[in-house]
Structure 1
Amino acid sequence: MREIITLQLGQQSNYLGSHFWNTQESYFTYGQDGESPVDHDVHFRPGLGADGTETYMPRTVIYDLKGGFGSLRKINALYDATEDGVPQGLWNGRTVVQREQPIEPSAYQESLDTGDAPPELTTSTVRYWSDFNRVFFHPRSIVQLNEFELNSTVMPFEKWHSGEELFASLDKDHDILDRDLRPFVEEADQMQGVQVMTGIDDAWGGFASKYMERLRDEYGKTPIMVWGLQEPTVGTSREKRLLRLVNKARAITDLYAQASLLVPLAIPSVSSSRSVALDRSSPWHVSALFNAAIESTSLYTRLKTSDRTNSTSLGHMTDILNVFGKQTIVNLQISPISPPKPVQNGTNGAVDAPSGRGELVGRPHELEYEDQPDANAQNDLTTLDVDLSSLDETLGQSGARSRRKPHLFSQVSTSRGFEPAQPSDEVDSDTPRYGGFNRPKTYQYESPLAFPMLDSYPRIFRDGDSHVIQNQIRVKTVLSTDSSVMDKMKGLRTTVARSIGLEDRETIGNELAEIAEGYKEGWSSGSDDDDDE
């Protein structure tokens, strides 16, 4: 098998993870539905429930703070409370148990338990990521960190060092990898790699950095793909934005050295696309857009290997994108595309949008480059509707970002919901796809499997007439290694330099500069291409 183990670190990642696992669950087929093209063993593990029945649950470890799990309980309908045993204390006297008032399940969760038709979710009814979760997790997957409380004003979990210190303390007491991750690794027959979903602009960035160090110590050659999530900055104070950028700078310099691929993700601050409308203040909305991009671009790592042309692995994607061995950071773009024939529901496809501000997001106008390349050219960077690569490294400083056309090193372009093009008879599938001077810059993967719009998903996608898309959609994504990372790292270095303590300022500044240099190799040295104007 080609197992992938997922680590979810914090609220941002768990909103994303809930969407991700709901999507994976939707690919299961039953009865006369036909065979799914997805290899479920990649992300799901078999097991036995408390009553001896077979179970099938995600290969994931979920970390969150006290109060972050909402109504989700460690013990669910498939496992009883005796699974982990009852700890025996030394006190033989009378005990008094104090219990906090449990959080009531959402109406959506109750409908799943009763089998009734689920109510429509809105931004006001989704209080926690567990409110729209559709899958059961193994008790070992649930790890609550009681040292901090979600949204605490007394001890906020927002500084990088807080996450770093929390991991060090927990690892010293428990050996986190042995306790939490190793059981899932030992179950895998042939582990493909690890994907990590984590915030990088809060304390979870520090937690993830230390976790990655331990992962590399234990699994030195295992591909590790990190999805680095950032909260929207619109409406945030300058002080808070600067703190997030400092956290981000620290996280990037650490994760860059440890991850096989690092994909920083952020919602564009400038709106121009009509294909996506979402409430930036809702993590349910924001994580839904992230999930559509992540789930679509990684779909080909879990398709059945019978489709040799369109199945790949985390290791193969790393080899494709990290051209010179110093290009760990990659950019992600997405274009959601409405079906060719909209579903007729008596209103010609027009449906009222759910509550929320419904702001349009898309490619910012200032990133529209002159002499835009042909998107079909093999050696040019493809540009899609929504650029999710982190765009706000400069706190609005003018002139900090270059307007030059990025130089493309390599890109993975994916299309789903479209019928795959017939492969050319002249292409030998056994021919090496990279290496040497004839290496292509664009690698195309295609699948007819459209992206499902579940009842747990916010209606954030729009068709060409600005109507809400209710059912499945077609999606294009591009995961690219290009020279825009150089400008971003330079801008980040300039912005945060004076906000980092003297003991770390030079080290982090030099590391950001080294990352930027890794995106000049092979194209700009000794040429005029490095000029901004």
Structure 2
Amino acid sequence: MRELVTLQVGSFANYVGSHFWNFQDELLGLAEDAYADPVFKNQSLNMDVLYRSGETHQGTVTYTPRLVSVDLQGSLGSMSSRGTLYNEGSSASSNIFTWGGNVSTQAAEPHKKNLFLQSLYEEEQGDFLTLQSGVSGGEESSQREIHDSEIVESLENGVRYWTDFSKVHYHPQSLYELSGLWVDPQKFDNYGIGRESLSAGLQGEEVSERLRFFVEECDHIQGFQFIVDDSGGFSPLAVDVLESIADEYTNAPVMLYAVRGSGSSMDPRSQKQRVSRKLHDAVSFSMLSSLCKLIVPVGLPSLSTSKASTFLSINDERPYHCSAAYAATLHSVSLPFRMEPLGPTGDSSYASGAVTVSEVVQILSGQARQNMVAILDAAMPSPSLAGNSLGETLLKNLQPLTPETAEDVEDLQSVVSMTVHGALGSGGHRASISEVKDTVHAAYEHAITRPIYCHLSVAQCPLPIPLPFPSIFGNLVGQHGELLSTPIVGSPTRGSLDVHSIPMAARLRSSSAVLPFLENRLGGLRSCGIARGAPGAELVRSWGFAKDELEDMGEMLSKMIATLDPHSQMSSDSD
């Protein structure tokens, strides 16, 4: 068994992670539900890749994510940093007296559980009583439906923390708050302030120690799935952890998703803010990408107006909305890491195309191309294969979630790793593995430009839509994610009570289409930090970077650009 350890660092990264783990929890529940669609019982997925089995001191068996989550103090809302399964935390009171003076106590009111978290607690208490007495305390279906609609409405209007919509139990080693950082989250927005705030503490060591707890119990770790909010001050902490991983786990590759919410991409008002933003973007990307096997920038300036949201209705101002779409795509591209390997027959009725993180990295960075940045594309939901024998619609619907990418680029050296799951065929039935493979391969064969290599992973299991998922589907999306010819009359948005699952397609691309992203970072670094009289030279020096360090970053970016496009003017060393 080849385990994955997941890290989530930063506010938006934890929003994405909260949705990601909700999907996994939903899959686990549906696999045990006697009334669920049979496709969820035959997933051909090994959930032990992501989860660990354990036991509390009371003897209760646990199954929790192999996860380390990091955020600012106070970001957990009503959830304890010890999680909810293990209650052996130390008491706040003590019998040791070392101070003889007056003592005053400042106590903040605990955050109240919202309607969703209250319902989870009541449901678990009911399950516990059922186990104790053997008597079910279930509600009438009509009452349950009303209750669920109230929950959905309360989440749409009241999510303040990523824990507000989390339906997952966490291990006590998983949730880490950066204590002692007295900083306004709104001002924790660049590499310099993050580096300054973290320099005096041992946060990086403490996070690495928690990471070590999960890694040491793995039989054969295949790598790390690292989600970092790189829009601000969390980048230096992520760099510290990446350096620790590089030192301790040399052979375990890191697949890093650098995620950003739409609000972080707003154009700064002042010249000083614009300079700071350009330097942060360049420095953060350079530092992070130098320490991982593959980095995938995720987060559009406006997800709601992008082609990726053709069938979605998203509010860019709500992290709860944007993070859901990104999490769904990360779920899809990570499916091959936990697919069961093929049996002796070499085929499976439910999933095909299992690969490890290392193999995906090799697919995308091999072929004599050593770039470490990939584009993430998604089709959410993916279109039906019916009447689409060549699959052109499927490929057309795959739209980038990576910002600043070029469209319609003819890259003869591009490489693709693609996942399609839950695809629908004619009559609304689940398309077979072979049908999907034939359709996708035929589509690429007839495409005007096609990659030199495409690895395809296929699963019949669709993306389940859990109750706390936001109402971001448009009125052309049916109950099972089918795309309708006429809109549904009524509400323009549909959520988990209307849409129970959707087919998904996601793709990682190594392509020259990412050149604008790289060129913008190199250009910002040179114009704002390196060039003679650069307006941000003093600022970046205050962040702790000497000019030769910036020049090394520029050289690294130049090499990445030259690898993708040897004729690019940006690869020149001249300023």
> How far apart, in 1, do the equivalents of 2:161 and 2:170 lie?
16
Q: 1:223, CA displacement in angstroms?
A: 0.9
Q: Are 1:451 and 1:473, in contact at CA under 8 Å, matched by a contact in 2?
A: yes
Q: 359, 379, 383: which is aligned to 1:335?
A: 379
Once the two structures are superposed, residues 114-173 of structure 1 have per-residue CA deviations (whole angstroms, 9 ceiling, x without a partner) of 1264411444211111110001111111111123357446xx3112023234444333x7
Tell me if the contact between 2:68 and 2:175 (Cα under 8 Å) persists in the aligned partners. yes
Which segment is superposed worse, 217-226 or 511-520? 511-520
Higher helix share: 2
Structure 1 gaps of 5+ residues are 342-373, 393-400, 426-438
Residue range with higher mean Cα deviation, 456-465 or 138-147: 456-465
Choose from 306, 315, 340 the match for 1:271: 306
Amino acid at match of 1:271: S
Q: Is the 8 A contact 1:249 1:508 kept in 2?
A: no
Alignment match of 2:522 (pick from 486, 493, 499)? 493
Which of 331, 336, 339 is 1:300 aligned to? 336
Aligned mates of 2:284, 2:168 — CA distance in 1: 31
Give the letter for the 1:81 counterpart: E
Partner letter of residue 106 of structure 2?
Q
Distance 1:22 1:112 in 2: 13
Per-residue deviation, 1:302 = 1.2
Give the aligned partner of residue 157 of structure 1: 188
Following the alignment from structure 2 to structure 1, what is the Cα–Cα distance between the partners of residues 170 and 181? 23
Determine which of 457, 463, 472 is the counterpart of 2:469.
457
The count of residues paired between Structure 1 and Structure 2 equals 470
Match of 2:512 among 483, 497, 517: 483
> CA 1:244/1:201 → structure 2, altered by over 3 Å: closer, same or farther?
farther
1:387 lines up with 2:418 in the alignment: no
Contact 2:181–2:197 (8 Å) recurs in 1: no
For the 8 Å contact 1:483–1:520, the answer to whether it is kept is no
1:302-354 per-position Cα deviation (integer Å, ceiling 9, x unaligned): 1222467421111111110112362111000101136759xxxxxxxxxxxxx
| CA RMSD, 1 decimal | 3.5
Aligned residue among 178, 197, 200 for 1:145:
178
1:206 to 224, 232, 236: 236
User: Which residue does the alignment assign to 1:80?
Assistant: 87
In the alignment, the residues of structure 1 paired with residue 111 and residue 188 of structure 2 have an alpha-carbon distance, to the nearest angstrom, of 21
Q: Is the 1:39–1:303 contact (alpha carbons within 8 Å) kept by the matching residues of 2?
A: yes
CA separation in 2, counterparts of 1:8 and 1:127? 18
CA distance in 2, matches of 1:473, 1:129: 23
TM-score, normalised via structure 2 length: 0.73
Q: What is the Cα deviation at residue 413 of structure 1?
A: 1.4
How far residue 221 of structure 1 moved from its aligned partner, in angstroms, is: 1.9
Contact 1:413 1:443 in 2 (8 A): yes
Rounded Cα–Cα distance in structure 2 between residues aligned with 1:49 and 1:95:
36
Q: Distance in 2 between matches of 1:103 and 1:230?
A: 26
Given residue 239 of structure 2, which amino acid in structure 1 is its aligned partner?
S
Once residues 460 and 242 of structure 1 are traced to their aligned partners in structure 2, the CA distance between those partners, rounded to angstroms, is: 35
Percent identity over the alignment is 24
Say yes or no: does 1:125 pair with 2:158.
yes
Alpha-carbon distance between aligned partners in 2 of 1:178 and 1:408, rounded to the nearest angstrom: 38
Change in Cα spacing, 1:209 to 1:75, as seen in structure 2 (3 Å) is closer
Higher mean alpha-carbon deviation, 119-128 vs 496-505, is at 496-505
Taking the aligned partners of 2:397 and 2:182, their CA distance within structure 1 comes to 39
Q: Alpha-carbon deviation of 1:30?
A: 1.6
Cα distance change of structure 1 residues 319 and 466 upon mapping to structure 2, 3 Å threshold: farther
For residues 261 and 66 of structure 2, the distance between their equivalents in structure 1, rounded to whole angstroms, comes to 26
Deviations, residues 188-210 of structure 1 (Å, cap 9, x unaligned): 11111111111112111122122
Q: Unaligned regions of 5+ residues in structure 2, if any?
A: 124-143, 347-351, 424-430, 438-450, 478-482, 489-493, 530-535
Partner of 1:414: 419
Q: Which TM-score applies when normalising by structure 1?
A: 0.79
Matched, 1:62 2:69: yes
Q: State the distance in 2 between where 1:268 and 1:494 align.
A: 19
The equivalent residue for 2:133 is none
Structure 2 residue 201 is matched with structure 1 residue 170: yes
Q: Distance in 2 between matches of 1:232 and 1:20?
A: 18
Q: CA deviation at 1:264?
A: 0.5
Q: Distance in 1 between matches of 2:87 and 2:548?
A: 53
